[in-house]
Structure 1
Amino acid sequence: MTQTPHLTGSLEFCLDQLRQQTVIAYPTEAVFGLGCDPDSESAVMALLALKQRPVEKGLILIAADYSQLEPYISDRELSVIQREQMLASWPGPVTWVVPVPPHTPRWLSGRFDSLAIRVTDHPLVQSLCREFGKPLVSTSANLSGAEPCRNVAEVQQQFGAHFPVLHGETGGRNNPSEIRDVISGQLIRQG
């Protein structure tokens, strides 16, 4: 029995690409994101090269739920109040910077002892993370110096017609996610 290829732009197609350690684009709350398997150094390095982003800057992980993020962070370093404040903002467009244990790969945390994490409320990204079984690296889909992509056509214009992209709409927000430090409560980027 021959297997039929998955339709380009479908969830199944993008899952296949992720399993092959390929970088994909997908809609998020405000803009399209670029993502890949956070456990694949080669996939993360390909994403960073595509973005022309230095590894030292660190990355964001986006997930369907908090349990997907726990292996990458030091949950035990959070107070009950810090954890409750973070969890109360999810799912949604708030990214939190959280301490990481020593085993978290430097290709994710960069020069920091922390990692930016978010539980998304975008249904397509939730499905992607659930089916993939873990979070995705998430950074805005744009080439260095270009505006972030807000639709499939813009992704294909910047990255090429054959770039793997999950077809769908963004969540309609104008601004990328707010970023806060979970320990200090400090606002790092306005949402």
Structure 2
Amino acid sequence: MAELGTSIKQAADSVRQGGVLVYPTEGVFGIGCDYRDEAAVQRILQLKRRPVNMGLILIASHLQQLLPLIQPADPFDLARALKTWPGHHTWVFPATALTPRWITGDHDTVAVRLTDHPAVKTLCDELGHALVSTSANLSGQPTPNSCAEIAAIWGDQVDHYLDLPLGQQAGPSAMRLASSGQVLR
């Protein structure tokens, strides 16, 4: 049975056990899991009705959680991203061999963000690694504004709902190419 609560420790325990988690981010509720757990990632893709080839975003609390997964082509690429982090900005970098294919999809890149949302920072710190971070909606549909609305859609198909407030941003994060700063969304 799915848990709905405000305990970050319980949310982290659920992720450690292979669980799928709904949680607040800067602008929308996200759905995520341990990015290294292919079965959990596949569950998210099925819930969202999203093809694996599109790739997924990873969210982290510290750069050290992302460095093994990204391979900036130029030091200026990382500097460009660091000017906006932590914050509501996702950057696309070349992926390293440590980044799973179920995260990159058909790409040789990975989209990453250092969050400034206090609950997500604490969650990633508790876990010691990045999380999958995709909007908690069916692909192509609007993202509900509360955990209760999302739980009404997915119920027990999600293991834990971290029912804490959203950040102050509107909508999903901006996404840019690290190599050029080009806006992708």
TM-score category (smaller protein): over 0.9
CA drift at 1:81: 2.0
CA drift at 1:159: 1.4
**Structure index of larger Rg:** 1
Question: Take 1:82 and 1:148, find their aligned partners in 2: how far apart are those partners?
Answer: 31
CA drift at 1:161: 6.6
The runs of 5 or more residues in structure 1 that have no matched partner are 1-5
- Correspondence list, 1:94-173, <5 A: 94-160=89-155, 163=158, 164-173=160-169
RMSD, matched Cα: 1.7
- Correspondence list, 1:8-87, <5 A: 8-75=5-72, 77=73, 79-87=74-82
Ranges of 4+ aligned residues in structure 1 off by more than 4 Å: none
Question: Take 1:9 and 1:149, find their aligned partners in 2: how far apart are those partners?
Answer: 18
2:31 is paired with a residue whose SS is: strand
Q: Is the 8 A contact 2:115 2:121 kept in 1?
A: yes
How many residue pairs are counted as aligned between the two chains? 182
CA drift at 1:8: 3.8
2:171 is paired with a residue whose SS is: coil
Q: Is the 8 A contact 1:30 1:150 kept in 2?
A: no
The runs of 5 or more residues in structure 2 that have no matched partner are none
Paired residue for 1:91?
86
Identical-pair percentage:
45
Q: Which has the higher contact order (CA 8 A, sep 6+)?
A: 2
Taking structure 1 as the reference length, the TM-score comes to 0.90
